[in-house]
């Protein structure tokens, strides 16, 4: 009798329901996160487009101002008609510009004349000024200096600005001060533009106009309607589509770092925190629909906020929602199926118990059925084992072999995936199909393994397909035995691993080659060097290691940018490779250093001509953008085998030889010698001691007098540094100045020299020893420092020394590499009131046409010309020419290295102004120089006898 079963979930059905719901939820969450990631990526791209468009728009406005500024920066008069014609096209092209202005700096005493000039343009025009507290526009009061709107275009709509004095406008003058300090355009804060029907925020871009003396002559400005600028920038980039602006994404631009209401420049909607549904808040990993970027343009921060509009959840999550609903439905169906199957199984169990008696009567037949079932199960187990073996080995195809290890079956798309037809494989052993297995150690080990009837795994071998392409295969195999343990054959799987092998080869290549030039890197260089040394040891022929360093590479990076530097490095790498043999190794060591390994062949001995050929190939001109550069190199060569050069020190010794070539003036090569190592060790000792010399007060200054040749009186002195080391003694400058330049320590040392010399000069003046001028040399590192002007101002202020009593000595090489910024920097130095002199004049390579552009006060004739002026006509002619040139340019002339009365007489007779040298005095310590001043020692007058001149102590 059947009993009614209660309607309840079975354990299997409950597990199916719980597992299905959990899996559906996990898949929903995973796919949702992927959808959010895609949304965030899309939003980030769209946000970046808008930020880039706004940046381009503001920079374009700055470029318009820069172009306009060039009209006045050239120093030539600009008529109002020229200004109107020039700006008309710009106003037509850039509709967001309210007005172009030129502000002119006018002294108070010229007010009447300038007002008359303005009245000719617009009758009744006088200097006006905005009254405080919103008092409107009125006549400007009397002031010492005005900064008026001299030119304004278009005049229509901007008449009230004509003649406006802006010296009391803090916004504009602050921006002008920033622009003048940074040497580029600066922006004011926002202000409301009253000219439009609907007032809108605006700002002003401003750039100074300097006269030829570096003084402020005025400025050019552009008044810009902020919202129209941003709208035009977005519209030009195709980002102001009506649907995009109103539904998908909102943009807000602020003139400042913070999102303040008063700084809002432009907005297409609310960019605050986007509204999110509770489901978005639960699933989204972060707020991916809002971003804020800060731009730094025109000396001001611009905040750009971009936010996406809220969207319905299903609009972006259709896939995950569909997956969740489908998973729930499938789970319910599966649960219902398992529940029905469980109930059916219970009914079957009841029927089985009821019919057990009937089954006893058929026991004999059941025994026979069981025997047949055992045979079927054995066959099933074998089939299952075969299936499990094949499934456990991930593969592209599987195969079988017979007792003779010959292929009997290859399936699974072997032809498509391996590029080889099945017919070429069937009936062959693997080593007959791939003969190269007989030639490799791994191949022979595999053959021995299968002949021993052992399983094998992960056998990799290479072959060539029917198209001639190299392919890599990976195979696994298991032996198959019968019930008696006799081998029936092999079965296994195979995979095409060509892509993986090619990837491994590419990774190996990247690990051993320089990414930029493709040359071997340091790792592969060591391996090649080891092979070259072993080759040299075997055949008894030498090898050369060349270390190549580019000269002035840092100048290319600093002036043209790192992209130009990369182009130069790739060009040099190609030239080095093409100038050498294929068997030679060219590697990039680091930065702008390359290493070349040359091995000697019996038919081509190694000679210095090879090194010269390499130098010539590098020295060819290189086009970087629109400029042509000539880059030379310095090369050090180490030879192996040679005395004092072990194999593991070849690169180090080549580096030492390269530094020796640098010291000899660059653009040459040197072979390593043991003496160079001593120089290198000496350099290390000097550099180590030099780093602590300032802290230990080991530096002292000596002063060499500078004498007026007309009066014979001391009028100044040159400060010369000396190093008093406790162990090395008095170290001359030529032993440590070059090292200080290379290491950058010269900046700190030079600052100490400048401050100490100024303080000492001020002390002597306070002691009543006369108003003297002290000359201090400026190094290349100091000249290129960003805080040079601030440092000079600080020293003059701290020491209270009159700037006219300080003379800065510069060499021509400091500023001849890039004249334009050097001229500006020299004018800024000159504006401090100090004197400027060119040291060692005549030994440089500059064009004399630049000399008139430099605000120089003094030329110093190098001692190399003075030494032979009495018996060398060429040197005498050079000195005479320098004196004449300087006097024509209203410059003073100082001759260095005067050691004889004859030299002194020659210089006096040709009008030289001052001298310094051992004839009058060698450089003296501060105490001795003070004694010299107190003695009031002087040169004899020109009419004095020669004997009296020779009686002067040296």
* pLDDT, tens only, 501-552: 787 777 777 766 887 888 888 878 888 888 888 888 888 888 899 999 988 7
Interhelix angle 788-799/746-766, rounded to 10 degrees, is 30
Residue 743 contacts residue 750 (beta carbons within 8 Å): no
pLDDT score, position 353: 79
> Which residue, among 445, 451, 501, has the nearest Cα to 474 in the 3D structure?
501
* Residue 491: CA count within 13 A, CB half-sphere: 16
Q: Percent helix, strand, coil in the chain (nearest 5)? A: 50, 25, 30
Residue whose token pair is 């003048």: 180
DSSP run (H or E) holding 92 = helix 80-93
Q: Count other C-beta atoms under 10 Å from residue 29's C-beta.
A: 14
Alpha helices in 248-317 (DSSP H): 278-283, 313-316
> Which residue, among 191, 180, 128, 192, has the nearest Cα to 159 in the 3D structure?
128
Q: Count other C-beta atoms under 10 Å from residue 708's C-beta.
A: 16
Q: Which regions of the chain are under pLDDT 70?
A: 1-7, 134, 193-197, 241-247, 272-288, 315, 380-381, 383-395, 412, 511-512, 643-645, 675, 677-682, 812-818, 842-850, 943-954
Residue 716 contacts residue 775 (beta carbons within 8 Å): yes
| Eight-class DSSP state of 4 | P
Q: Which tokens sit at 643?
A: 């005395």
pLDDT score, position 99: 92
Which is it for the CA torsion 811, 812, 817, 821, positive or negative? positive
d(CA 899, CA 918): 5
pLDDT score, position 815: 61
What does 584-602 look like in DSSP terms, one character per residue? Answer: SEEEEEETTEEEEEEE-BT
pLDDT score, position 832: 92
d(CA 467, CA 484): 45
Contacts 24+ apart (CB under 8 A), 573-581: 573/517, 573/518, 573/519, 575/617, 575/618, 575/620, 576/548, 576/614, 576/617, 576/618, 577/519, 578/617, 579/613, 579/614, 579/616, 579/617, 580/610, 580/614
Interhelix angle 11-73/226-236, rounded to 10 degrees, is 120
Q: Work out whether strand 633-640 and strand 543-550 pair parallel, antiparallel, or are unpaired.
A: antiparallel
Contacts 24+ apart (CB under 8 A), 384-390: 386/491, 389/478, 389/491, 390/491, 390/493
Q: Which tokens sit at 904?
A: 């002194």
Backbone φ and ψ for 925, nearest 5 degrees, come out as -65, 160
Residue 770 contacts residue 932 (beta carbons within 8 Å): no
pLDDT score, position 511: 66
* Residue 183: CA count within 13 A, CB half-sphere: 5
DSSP run (H or E) holding 270 = none
Q: Which tokens sit at 729?
A: 């003694």
DSSP run (H or E) holding 850 = none
Which residue(s) pair with 736 in the sheet? Answer: none
Q: Which tokens sit at 261?
A: 């209401």
Residue 720 contacts residue 733 (beta carbons within 8 Å): yes
> How far from 599 is each of 541, 548, 585, 607, 635, CA to CA, in Å?
8, 17, 9, 11, 17
Backbone φ and ψ for 711, nearest 5 degrees, come out as -95, -20
Which is it for the CA torsion 350, 353, 358, 363, positive or negative? positive
> Which residue, among 750, 723, 730, has the nearest Cα to 814 in the 3D structure?
750
Alpha helices in 831-937 (DSSP H): 863-866, 873-888, 901-909, 926-935
pLDDT tens for 434-487 read 888 888 888 888 888 889 889 998 888 888 877 778 888 888 999 999 888 889
Residue 288 contacts residue 40 (beta carbons within 8 Å): yes
d(CA 462, CA 452): 23
Residue whose token pair is 């004739």: 861
Instruction: Say if residue 202 is exposed, middle or buried (CB neighbours under 10 Å; 0-12, 13-18, 19+).
Output: buried
Residue 141 contacts residue 163 (beta carbons within 8 Å): no
Q: Where are the beta strands (DSSP E) in 444-599?
A: 456-464, 470-481, 487-496, 543-550, 585-590, 593-599
What does 213-230 look like in DSSP terms, one character per residue? Answer: TS-EEEEEEEEEEHHHHH
Residue whose token pair is 């590098």: 618
> Which residue, among 140, 145, 110, has the nearest Cα to 128 in the 3D structure?
140
Residue 841 contacts residue 862 (beta carbons within 8 Å): yes
* Residue 403: CA count within 13 A, CB half-sphere: 6
Q: Work out whether strand 487-496 and strand 543-550 pair parallel, antiparallel, or are unpaired.
A: unpaired
What letters, b where the CB count within 10 A reaches 16 and e where it falls short, cover 818-844?
eeeebbebbbebbeeebbbbbbbbbee
At a CB cut-off of 8 Å and minimum separation 6, what does 825 contact?
783, 788, 789, 815
d(CA 623, CA 628): 5
Rg of the Cα atoms in the chain: 44
My answer on whether omega of the bond before 369 falls inside 30° of 0, hence cis, is: no
């Amino acid at each position: 009798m059947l009993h009614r079963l209660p309607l309840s979930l079975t354990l299997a059905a409950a597990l199916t329901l719980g597992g299905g719901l959990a899996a559906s939820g996990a898949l929903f969450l995973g796919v949702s996160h992927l959808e959010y990631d895609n949304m965030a990526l899309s939003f980030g791209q769209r946000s970046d487009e808008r930020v880039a468009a706004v940046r381009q728009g503001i920079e374009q406005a700055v470029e318009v101002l820069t172009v306009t500024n060039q009209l006045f920066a050239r120093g030539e008069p600009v008529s109002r008609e020229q200004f109107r014609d020039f700006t008309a096209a710009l106003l037509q092209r850039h509709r967001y510009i309210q007005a172009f202005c030129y502000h002119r700096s006018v002294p108070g005493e010229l007010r009447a004349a300038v007002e008359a000039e303005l009245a000719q343009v617009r009758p009744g025009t006088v200097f006006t000024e905005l009254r405080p507290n919103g008092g409107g526009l009125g006549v400007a009061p009397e002031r010492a200096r005005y900064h008026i709107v001299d030119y304004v275009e278009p005049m229509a709509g901007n008449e009230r600005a004509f003649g406006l004095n802006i010296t009391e406008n803090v916004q504009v003058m602050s921006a002008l001060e920033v622009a003048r300090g940074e040497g580029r355009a600066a922006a004011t804060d926002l202000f409301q533009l009253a000219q439009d029907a609907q007032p809108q925020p605006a700002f002003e871009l401003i750039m100074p106009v300097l006269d030829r003396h570096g003084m402020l002559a005025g400025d050019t400005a552009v008044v810009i309607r902020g919202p129209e600028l941003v709208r035009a920038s977005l519209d030009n980039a195709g980002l102001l589509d009506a649907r995009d602006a109103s539904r998908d994404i909102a943009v807000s631009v602020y003139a400042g770092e913070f999102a303040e209401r008063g700084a809002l420049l432009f907005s297409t909607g609310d960019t605050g925190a986007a509204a999110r549904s509770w489901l978005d808040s639960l699933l989204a990993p972060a707020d991916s629909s809002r971003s804020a970027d800060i731009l730094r343009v025109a000396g001001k921060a611009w905040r750009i906020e971009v936010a996406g509009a809220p969207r319905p959840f299903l609009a972006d999550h259709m896939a995950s929602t569909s997956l969740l609903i489908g998973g729930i439905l499938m789970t319910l169906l599966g649960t219902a199926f398992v529940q029905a199957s469980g109930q059916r199984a219970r009914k079957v169990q009841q029927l089985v118990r009821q019919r057990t008696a009937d089954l006893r009567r058929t026991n004999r037949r059941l025994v026979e059925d069981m025997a047949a079932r055992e045979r079927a199960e054995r066959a099933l187990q074998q089939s299952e084992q075969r299936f499990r073996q094949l499934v456990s080995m991930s593969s592209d195809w599987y195969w079988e072999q017979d007792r003779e290890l010959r292929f009997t079956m290859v399936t699974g798309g072997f032809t498509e995936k391996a590029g080889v037809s099945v017919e070429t494989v069937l009936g062959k052993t693997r080593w007959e199909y791939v003969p190269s297995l007989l030639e490799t150690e791994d191949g022979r080990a595999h053959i021995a393994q299968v002949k021993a009837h052992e399983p094998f795994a992960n056998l990799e071998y290479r072959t060539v397909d029917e198209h001639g392409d190299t392919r890599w295969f990976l195979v696994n195999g298991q032996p198959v035995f019968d019930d008696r343990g006799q081998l029936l054959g092999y079965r296994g799987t195979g995979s095409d691993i060509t892509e993986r092998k090619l990837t491994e080869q590419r990774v190996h290549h990247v690990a051993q080659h320089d990414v930029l030039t493709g040359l071997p890197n340091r790792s592969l260089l060591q391996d090649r060097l080891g092979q070259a040394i072993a080759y040299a040891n075997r055949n008894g022929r030498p090898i050369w290691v060349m270390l190549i360093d580019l000269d002035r590479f840092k100048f290319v990076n600093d002036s043209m940018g790192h992209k130009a530097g990369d182009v130069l490095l790739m060009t040099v790498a190609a030239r080095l490779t093409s100038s050498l043999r294929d068997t030679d190794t060219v590697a990039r060591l680091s930065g702008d250093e390359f290493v070349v390994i040359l091995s000697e062949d019996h038919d081509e001995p190694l000679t210095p001509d090879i090194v010269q050929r390499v130098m010539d190939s590098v020295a060819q001109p290189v086009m970087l953008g629109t400029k042509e550069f000539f880059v030379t190199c310095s090369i050090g060569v180490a030879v192996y085998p040679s005395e004092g050069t072990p194999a593991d020190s070849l690169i180090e010794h080549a580096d030492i030889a390269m530094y020796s070539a640098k010291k000899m003036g660059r653009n040459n090569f040197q072979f390593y010698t043991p003496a160079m190592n001593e120089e290198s060790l000496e350099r290390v000792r000097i550099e180590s001691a030099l780093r602590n010399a300032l802290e230990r007060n080991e530096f002292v200054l000596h002063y060499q007098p500078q004498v007026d040749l007309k009066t014979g009186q001391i009028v100044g002195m040159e400060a010369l540094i000396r190093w008093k080391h406790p162990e090395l003694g008095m170290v001359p400058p030529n032993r440590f100045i070059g090292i200080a330049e290379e290491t950058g320590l010269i900046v700190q040392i030079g600052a100490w020299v400048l401050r100490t010399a100024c303080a000492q000069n001020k002390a002597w003046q306070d002691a009543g020893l006369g108003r003297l001028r002290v000359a201090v040399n400026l190094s290349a590192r100091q000249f290129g420092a960003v805080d040079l002007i601030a440092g000079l101002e600080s020293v003059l202020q701290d020491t209270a020394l009159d700037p006219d009593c300080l003379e800065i000595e510069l060499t021509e090489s400091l500023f001849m590499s890039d004249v334009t910024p050097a001229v500006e920097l020299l004018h800024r130095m000159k504006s401090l009131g100090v004197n400027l002199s060119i040291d060692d004049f005549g030994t440089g390579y500059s064009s004399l046409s630049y000399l008139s552009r430099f605000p120089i006060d003094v030329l110093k004739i190098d001692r190399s010309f003075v030494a032979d002026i009495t018996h060398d006509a060429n040197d005498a002619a050079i000195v005479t020419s320098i004196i004449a040139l300087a006097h024509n340019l209203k410059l003073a002339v100082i001759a260095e290295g005067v050691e004889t009365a004859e030299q002194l007489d020659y210089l006096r007779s040709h009008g030289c102004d001052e001298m310094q040298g051992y004839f009058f005095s060698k450089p003296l310590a501060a105490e001795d120089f003070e004694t010299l001043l107190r003695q009031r020692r002087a040169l004899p007058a020109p009419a004095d006898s020669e004997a009296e001149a020779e009686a002067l102590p040296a």
